[in-house]
Amino acid sequence: MNMQVKIDTKEKFTVITPVNPGLHDNLAEEATQLLLPYLQKDTKNIVLNLREVKTMEAEFAGTMASLQQKFYENNVSFVICCLNTALEDYLEELEILELLNAAPTETEAWDIVQMEEIERELLDDIEPLFNDHHEKERN
């Protein structure tokens, strides 16, 4: 069984919508191979829209959490959106929901990505000044 997805590339992020109603553990590796290459692309940020997904197995959920962490370690946004209530409850039981950056709607997910992009740009602008200041103090 393959993971079927719709991909919609925007200016600042790519929306990936799995169309499989069930995200089973055997699709976790495929999801990783689909998502990790985005770290090398020009449009790196990911919005994972789960509106079509009814069920998810534990290993797949864990893979989503670790993928999201990997994106954030690389200063890239990874926001999950449109979880149905049953899926949200299940992820909460697994204690994975609190690890995820999740938004109720795709529009809110877009907003999060754009806010995080602005934060990163501001930090990039501040850090060189901060580092210059410390260099001068040491010399």
pLDDT for 131 equals 55
Residues 4 and 1: their CA atoms lie apart, in Å, by 9
String of b and e for 43-77 (b: at least 16 CB within 10 Å)? Answer: ebbbbbbbebbeebbeebbebbbebbeebeeeebb
Instruction: Give me the residue spans of the domains in the chain.
Output: 5-138
- CA neighbor of 50 nearest in space, from 100, 114, 117, 115: 100
Q: CB–CB of 41/48 below 8 Å? A: no
Q: How far is CA 128 from the centre of its chain?
A: 27
According to CATH, the topology of domain 5-138 is Transcription Regulator spoIIAA (3.30.750)
Helix or strand run (H / E) with residue 134: helix 106-138
- What residue ranges of the chain have pLDDT lower than 70? 1, 127-139
pLDDT for 82 equals 98
pLDDT for 125 equals 79
